Structure 1
Amino acid sequence: MFSKKASLTERLVALDEAAALGGARLSPAEHAALARVADAAGERRRLSGEHTVVGFFGATGSGKTSLFNAVVGEDLGRTAARRPTTSSPLAAVWDPVGSEELLDWLKVEDRRNRTGEFAPDAGPLILLDLPDFDSVEPVHREIATRLAGQVDVLVWVTDPEKYADSIIHDHFIRPHASHSAVTLAVLNKSDRLSETDRKVVGRSLEQLLKDDGLQKVSVITTSARTRFGIDELRSAIARIAAAHSAQTARIEADIATVTAPWAGQKGLKEVPSSAKEWMDDLLSDAAGSDRLADITAAAYRKRLGQKTGWLLTSWLLRLRPDPLKRLGLREEADKTGVHRSSMPTLDASSRAVANRGVRGYAAEVSAGLPDRWTSAVVDRTESIIDTLPEELDRAAARTELPAQPSRAWGVFTVVQWLALLAALVGVAWYLLAAFLPGVLYPLMDDIIPDVEGWPIPTLLILGGLLLGITLGMFTAVHGLAIGSAVKWRTRRALRREVSEISAETVEQPLLEIRGQYSQFLDAIRLAAGK
């Protein structure tokens, strides 16, 4: 199944989005390049789409202005003695209607309207003679550089002496290597060469252009003085203008150039879930999961003893402070997030464990990210680390602690009360028999009846006491056995809260940066037409 190719409008929107997503995560030069192409392309498309703008670029002494005049077909005064060098752009305009705003955008004030047409079917055309890009005047080079990024068609003019000059290749041609479709290369002043040397130098220049990245550009050999090759150059310009695609081709080439550093990048892999699990394990340890588990188990045993222990001694447990309340902890979870515990603050060792967990997870998140995006992850990580102690304390406060024995233990409480009641009945029986025997005589003939030789009051006292003590010992031993399960449940509950808080305070902020980079790459690929 083939996906529909994005339109130029969609690609420019994606480029603008990439510039916004990149923001401070790109170098100033990279961000400026993306924004410049997006803005310039949008502005160029808004202006006259009928006119094709052709710029003549060249070094001092290349004969660029003379060549320009020869192509125009008239000396426009740019080679006069009073003006030996090109100091400002000059426009030769065919069919000037609608060109004013375009030339204003190009900042070209010197405009010469031409009559007739440049060539059959060429359509509205603007030829620009530009300042020498190697001029000693910085402003001349700035103008040439700016317009090299704005014109639809680039005509590089050189001569046999300077065709291999590094300035034109390193600073002008190579940065526009993706613009083959809208580039013409001219070797001017060919009249100074023999026919054999002309071919040799032409082939040499073609090889240099290929080395620069211009794979589809052939060299047009000209001489402004003898008019050799002028018709060929005019025909090449006319063919490009007649196709009415130079503007689009230029914009597409600009997009290809600025997106090239990232367009071939592979998408990021998912951060392994094991990285989050490993971090949560360390954060749980740092939050004091073992200590909290011991405290919860101790609180469970205390409350179980209070609830099911021997009633004659279990009340003493109430005099001991509750392990949880002493640390400001509660069985119920603090879902509001405002409660804080009195757990000891993280010591240096616990901080180191927590920091190692967060930084280790951040390293996984940073995998595959460029340096500036990695730095953003590191910066965010350090700010997260500063709040870790408070967040881990919040996790402890939010944890629902299993310190309260279940209601099923209430059966033992009832039995303990019944056992105590039985013992008290036995004691009361003996007291009544001893001090108020007359009260019992009407009720029974034998004041102290027995069973198998054992007085019933004695059986009630011994049975009640032994049952209460036995039940108390049973639940105490059982409480110790259950304590290990309470510890496990406490660790699991704390880790669950730590996992939720780490997802909120660590995972989400760091993955947001990684996600922004993925969105940036997606926008870049869409802009690049991939």
Structure 2
Amino acid sequence: MSRHSVAREASQLDRRLEALNDARELAEGVLPDAALEEVYQLLERASSRRSLSADHTVVGFFGATGSGKSSLFNAVSGAEIATAAARRPTTSEPLAGVWGADGSEPLLDWLEVGNRHHAEPVAGFADEGTGLILLDLPDFDSTRAANREIVERMVGLVDVLVWVLDPQKYADAAVHNDFLAPLSAHGAVTLVVLNQVDRLPERDVQPVLESLKGILARDGLGKVQVLGASALKGTGVDKVRSAIRGVVVQRQALSQRLAADVSRASGQLREAAGAGEAAGVRPASKTRLTDELATAANVPVVVDAVARSYRIESTRRTGWPVTRWLVRFRPDPLRRLNLRSSSPSQLNRTSLPAAGAPERARTDAAVREFADAASAGAPGPWRAAIRGAAREGREALPDALDQAIAGTDLMASRKSWWWGVFNVVQWLALLTVLGGLGWLGGLAGLGYLQLPVPEVPKVEGWPVPTLLIGGGVVLGIFLALTGKFIGSGAARARAARARKRLRAAVGGVARDFVVEPVEIEVSRLASFNAALKVAGGN
């Protein structure tokens, strides 16, 4: 394999490992710790293995008791490295046959293999300069727990797995269910050898191999290479050597093994998480949430108070001066709610009724409805995470809403330009009435004192003082009624602006306490799925 191709594969593997780590980090707090721990251990193994000799391919021989695994190991090695048969009925610790000593020691230390044998070159298999380590491992069906632990550890560490089966137990559920089926993604670095074929009649060898292939296909290893061999007679040993050498020469085993591990781990994460994307936050859902929170926070009460307060203030400033003072006895709705302030930011709390059970229930229902809509389509664990994020700030939500209302500028102290015009005209009208009354009073006083009374000018037969009184009164009443009409319209307009500002404030609270936490979780799910896709090699 060319150096350029090796570098490209290494770069792709880097990208997949990084994506798998990203997926693991994104899933923290969502998926079970056990699933994430397995991924973390894989990443640690991958990092450690890649920091060691890339010039050596580690091939592990796995098999059950009596499968002839050690004998096949010797036959392939071309030397009696492993003591077999009666002198060594079971393999109790790993044993290594090493070709190419340079750089192998740290790798063997990491594998925790102390029993090492530097083997002689084997023509056509392990020549000078070949970096190869063959491991003879304990029997996977050993009754000793320590032996099985070694096998399970080595299954996760070696670059190439050679499974040695025998004609009597090749269909044993232990090897298929516990080892082969879980490693279905590792077909590219797996070799299955049916050993001891010399014990079968020649006519039965091929049917047994076909039967084994069928079982492997059901394990998900339909494309794995299956060979028949006899370590005792040397049958098929060259084919086993050739298959191993082919893997070593291509120098892909390490990358393929790690790539298969990443595929398996990403598949396990996908299985633990489930498939699917969250619907996400929609504008309609945010509007609905804001509306419900605004109602629960008594925004309609505040809006009504703004309108009533404006109407009272309009009457006080534009009403008939003779009666407008009576308005002072009417309490200001905004002042009662502690919302009339020239500096809203100075307010800490309103005097609105505290949120009771109905308001809290409405708030919780609104938050739950929003979270359900945003999490629709998400797999179970992520749906729970999204809902949890939405509920996280619910205890602080009522207080935050109250403070948001208290800090909203309701423009309660802002004067309308028409108030001044109406006020001036009202006082002129009143002065006109007082002028007419004074005129008539002066005339009456002259008459009472028997003094000459001047002729009163008339207009169309109406004395001017009388016209002044009547005109002033009519103008004052007209202005008062007109002011009420204009004030009602202006009150509605000011209430509408207050409602808009209050909804914006409530929307800000909803964004900070509900929407943004949900959006973060939705985005985390999308990033998790994207990372898993890259990690899976898609």
TM-score between the two structures when normalised by the length of structure 1: 0.91
Number of the residue aligned with 1:465: 473
The answer (yes or no) to whether the contact 1:90–1:109 under 8 Å persists in 2 is yes
| Alpha-carbon distance in 1 for matches of 2:420, 2:491 | 18
Number of the residue aligned with 1:370: 379
The residue identity in structure 2 corresponding to 1:420 is L
| Alpha-carbon distance in 2 for matches of 1:174, 1:326 | 74
| Alpha-carbon distance in 1 for matches of 2:537, 2:128 | 30
Number of the residue aligned with 1:197: 204
The 3-state SS of whatever aligns with 1:25 is coil
1:233–1:433 Cα change, 3 Å: same
The 3-state SS of whatever aligns with 2:185 is coil
| Alpha-carbon distance in 2 for matches of 1:368, 1:107 | 47
2:100 is equivalent to residue 91 of structure 1: no
1:166–1:529 Cα change, 3 Å: same
| Alpha-carbon distance in 1 for matches of 2:203, 2:29 | 55
How far is 1:69 from its partner?
Answer: 1.6
| Alpha-carbon distance in 1 for matches of 2:42, 2:440 | 107
Q: 2:530 aligns with which of 518, 522, 526?
A: 522
| Alpha-carbon distance in 1 for matches of 2:420, 2:515 | 44
Number of the residue aligned with 2:410: 401
Number of the residue aligned with 2:338: 328
The 3-state SS of whatever aligns with 1:223 is coil
| Alpha-carbon distance in 2 for matches of 1:382, 1:270 | 16
Aligned-residue identity in percent = 43
The answer (yes or no) to whether the contact 1:298–1:323 under 8 Å persists in 2 is yes
The residue identity in structure 2 corresponding to 1:259 is S
| Alpha-carbon distance in 2 for matches of 1:48, 1:335 | 66
The 3-state SS of whatever aligns with 2:410 is coil
1:86–1:436 Cα change, 3 Å: farther
TM-score between the two structures when normalised by the length of structure 2: 0.90
| Alpha-carbon distance in 2 for matches of 1:436, 1:158 | 140
The answer (yes or no) to whether the contact 2:76–2:237 under 8 Å persists in 1 is yes
Q: 1:159 aligns with which of 142, 166, 187?
A: 166
1:121–1:499 Cα change, 3 Å: farther
Task: Tell me the alpha carbon deviations over residues 11-43 of structure 1, each in whole angstroms, 9 at most, x when there is no partner.
Answer: 222222222111121222321232222222222
Q: Which runs of 5+ in 2 are unaligned?
A: 1-7
The count of residues paired between Structure 1 and Structure 2 equals 522
2:235 is equivalent to residue 211 of structure 1: no
The answer (yes or no) to whether the contact 1:122–1:241 under 8 Å persists in 2 is no
The residue identity in structure 2 corresponding to 1:275 is S
The 3-state SS of whatever aligns with 2:62 is strand
Number of the residue aligned with 1:361: 370
Number of the residue aligned with 1:346: 355
Number of the residue aligned with 2:306: 296
The 3-state SS of whatever aligns with 2:193 is strand
Number of the residue aligned with 1:450: 458
1:410–1:305 Cα change, 3 Å: same
Q: 1:176 aligns with which of 176, 183, 192?
A: 183
The residue identity in structure 2 corresponding to 1:380 is A
Question: Relative to structure 2, which stretch is displaced further, 92-101 or 361-370?
Answer: 361-370
Number of the residue aligned with 2:282: 272
How far is 1:401 from its partner?
Answer: 2.6
The residue identity in structure 1 corresponding to 2:261 is D
The 3-state SS of whatever aligns with 2:162 is strand
The residue identity in structure 2 corresponding to 1:200 is P
Task: Tell me the alpha carbon deviations over residues 287-316 of structure 1, each in whole angstroms, 9 at most, x when there is no partner.
Answer: 223322222211111111111111111122
How far is 1:351 from its partner?
Answer: 2.1
Number of the residue aligned with 2:4: none
The residue identity in structure 1 corresponding to 2:316 is Q
2:312 is equivalent to residue 307 of structure 1: no
Task: Tell me the alpha carbon deviations over residues 96-124 of structure 1, each in whole angstroms, 9 at most, x when there is no partner.
Answer: 11011111111111111113354348821
| Alpha-carbon distance in 1 for matches of 2:385, 2:277 | 19
The 3-state SS of whatever aligns with 1:179 is helix
Number of the residue aligned with 2:421: 411
Task: Tell me the alpha carbon deviations over residues 131-150 of structure 1, each in whole angstroms, 9 at most, x when there is no partner.
Answer: 22222222222211111111
Task: Tell me the alpha carbon deviations over residues 306-355 of structure 1, each in whole angstroms, 9 at most, x when there is no partner.
Answer: 1111111112212322100111113768457x622111122322222221
The residue identity in structure 1 corresponding to 2:83 is R
| Alpha-carbon distance in 2 for matches of 1:408, 1:481 | 13
2:61 is equivalent to residue 52 of structure 1: no
Number of the residue aligned with 1:147: 154
| Alpha-carbon distance in 1 for matches of 2:179, 2:129 | 27
Question: Relative to structure 2, which stretch is displaced further, 367-376 or 150-159?
Answer: 367-376
Number of the residue aligned with 2:3: none
How far is 1:10 from its partner?
Answer: 2.1
The residue identity in structure 1 corresponding to 2:106 is E
Report 1:508-519 matches (<5 A).
508-519=516-527
Q: Which runs of 5+ in 1 are unaligned?
A: none
1:33–1:357 Cα change, 3 Å: same
The residue identity in structure 2 corresponding to 1:301 is R
The 3-state SS of whatever aligns with 1:299 is helix
How far is 1:427 from its partner?
Answer: 3.2
How far is 1:362 from its partner?
Answer: 0.5
The 3-state SS of whatever aligns with 1:220 is strand
Number of the residue aligned with 1:506: 514
How far is 1:281 from its partner?
Answer: 1.8
Number of the residue aligned with 1:11: 16
Number of the residue aligned with 1:61: 66
1:211–1:88 Cα change, 3 Å: same
| Alpha-carbon distance in 1 for matches of 2:532, 2:344 | 45
The residue identity in structure 2 corresponding to 1:34 is V
1:467–1:268 Cα change, 3 Å: same
